């Protein structure tokens, strides 16, 4: 794995020194460069690769949000964190988010919070680099495309789909069933064969973003508190950030699915509160496949629901959680759904 390059920008030398010391403890693969002036930082970005930028908000010449906006032009994939003494100032947060900030930290810095947040960004950036390298290699191979290449591409997608499973133990059966249920719905809805193939291979990537969720939240055996729930709700955006911007149609579909599979038909979902047809068809399809299989599967914390109860739940959630047309199609094909369920049932017994 290549090194991660970080720059820290703050006009207070003491703050820079603290960031340098905290970052040293986070791994030998991190290279940190510090600047007291945002203009110097921008000059550095012109000729040097930078993965993550930590910046103060109040600085001479330009504020942190303005710096992020300019940095994005020079380095579109840079991840940025605003460090501010302004606390919960909503105007600053909105300005920073519009500029492209990925996270916020408050002064004075808390060691554990700083390291956890930077660790999450490191995980995200390393995943992006893996996928970028994958795409570079894929483009080189495309001229020699054969069925063997296509098979290996599908295998890579399967490996990626298991990434979230490594932290959030769901069975391979769950991944397979979600893929087959999604393809069944796509076919019934009238999507062409190419679109069916996309959703079949991309729907298992829906929870990839859970690799960026803290273990104490992801694996908590009890109900999440409000703050933990908000952290958990970031996983669609994390998955989207990892998968977006590639030239691979399956990964692009995976980005869409990751971002939209927790949206609800009535607009009460997250992360964007989209409603009805505003939710991409891939997300509406995967939402049904994922929830139905979660209900009918055994988990450490619950028994599997029977098909009748699961179908009743889907019916109750028509026009609330789920697209009513897709629910009708799913139920109309319930015999095929049962065949898929039983085909991949053995691993959970």
Q: Where are the alpha helices (DSSP H) in the chain?
A: 13-24, 38-47, 64-74, 90-99, 111-141, 147-161, 163-167, 172-189, 193-202, 215-218, 226-232, 235-243, 249-260, 281-295, 307-316, 324-332, 334-343
Give the Cα separation of 31 and 268 in Å (integer).
42
Residues in the chain: 349
Query: Virtual CA dihedral for 71, 73, 74, 76, nearest 10 degrees?
Result: 90
Domains of the chain: 4-125 (3.40.50.2300), 146-348 (1.10.3210.10)
Q: What is the DSSP string of 210-254?
A: GGGS-HHHHT-SS---HHHHHHHTTHHHHHHHHHTT-S-HHHHHH
Residue of 56, 64, 110 lying closest to 84 (CA atoms): 56
Question: 3-state class of 88 per DSSP?
Answer: coil
Question: Tokens 């207070």 — which residue?
Answer: 12
> How far is the C-alpha of 293 from the C-alpha of 307, rounded, in Å?
10
User: Quick check: helix, strand or coil at residue 191?
Assistant: coil
* pTM assigned to the model: 0.56
**Which three-class secondary structure state does DSSP give residue 59?**
coil
Residue 278 per-residue DSSP state: G
Q: Going residue by residue through the chain (349 aa), what tens digit of pLDDT does each one get?
A: 578 899 999 999 999 999 999 888 787 888 999 999 999 999 999 999 899 999 999 998 899 999 999 999 999 889 999 988 766 678 888 888 888 888 888 888 888 888 888 888 888 888 887 777 777 777 666 656 555 555 666 666 666 666 656 555 555 678 889 999 999 999 999 999 999 999 998 998 898 888 888 888 887 878 889 999 999 999 999 999 988 988 888 889 999 999 999 999 999 999 999 999 999 999 999 999 999 999 998 766 678 899 999 999 999 999 999 999 999 999 999 999 999 998 887 544 4
First to last CA, the chain: 38
Query: Phi and psi of 306, rounded to 5°?
Result: -80, 165
**pLDDT tens digits, one per residue of 15-66:** 999 999 988 878 788 899 999 999 999 999 999 989 999 999 999 889 999 9
Show the tokens assigned to 252: 């692009």
């Amino acid at each position: 794995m290549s090194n991660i390059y970080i720059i820290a920008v703050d006009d207070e030398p003491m703050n820079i020194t603290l960031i340098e010391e905290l970052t040293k403890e986070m791994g030998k693969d991190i290279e940190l460069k510090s600047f007291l002036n945002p203009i110097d930082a921008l000059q550095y970005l012109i000729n040097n690769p930078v993965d993550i930028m930590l910046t103060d908000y109040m600085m001479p010449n330009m504020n942190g949000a303005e710096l992020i906006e300019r940095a994005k032009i020079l380095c579109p994939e840079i991840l940025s964190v605003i460090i501010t003494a302004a606390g919960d100032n909503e105007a600053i947060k909105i300005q920073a988010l519009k500029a492209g900030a990925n996270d916020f930290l408050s002064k004075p810095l808390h060691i554990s919070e700083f390291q956890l947040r930077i660790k999450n960004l490191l995980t995200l950036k390393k995943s992006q680099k893996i996928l970028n390298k994958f795409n570079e290699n894929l483009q080189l191979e495309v001229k020699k495309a054969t069925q063997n290449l296509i098979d290996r591409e599908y295998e890579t997608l399967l490996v990626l789909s298991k990434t979230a499973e490594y932290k959030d133990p769901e069975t391979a059966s769950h991944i397979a069933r979600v893929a087959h249920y999604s393809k069944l719905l796509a076919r019934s809805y009238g999507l062409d064969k190419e679109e069916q193939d996309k959703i079949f291979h991309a729907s298992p990537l829906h929870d990839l973003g859970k690799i960026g969720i803290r273990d104490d939240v992801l694996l908590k055996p009890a109900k999440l508190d409000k703050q933990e729930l908000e952290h958990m709700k970031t996983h669609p955006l994390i998955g989207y950030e990892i998968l977006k911007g590639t030239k691979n149609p399956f990964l692009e579909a995976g980005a869409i699915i990751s971002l939209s599979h927790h949206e609800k038909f009535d607009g009460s979902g997250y992360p964007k509160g989209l409603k009805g047809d505003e939710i991409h068809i891939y997300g509406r399809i995967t939402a049904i496949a994922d929830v139905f299989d979660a209900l009918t599967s055994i988990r450490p914390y619950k028994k599997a629901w029977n098909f009748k109860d699961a179908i009743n739940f889907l019916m109750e959630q028509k026009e609330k959680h789920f697209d009513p047309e897709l629910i009708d199609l799913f139920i109309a094909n319930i015999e095929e759904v049962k065949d898929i369920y039983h085909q991949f049932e053995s691993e959970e017994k």
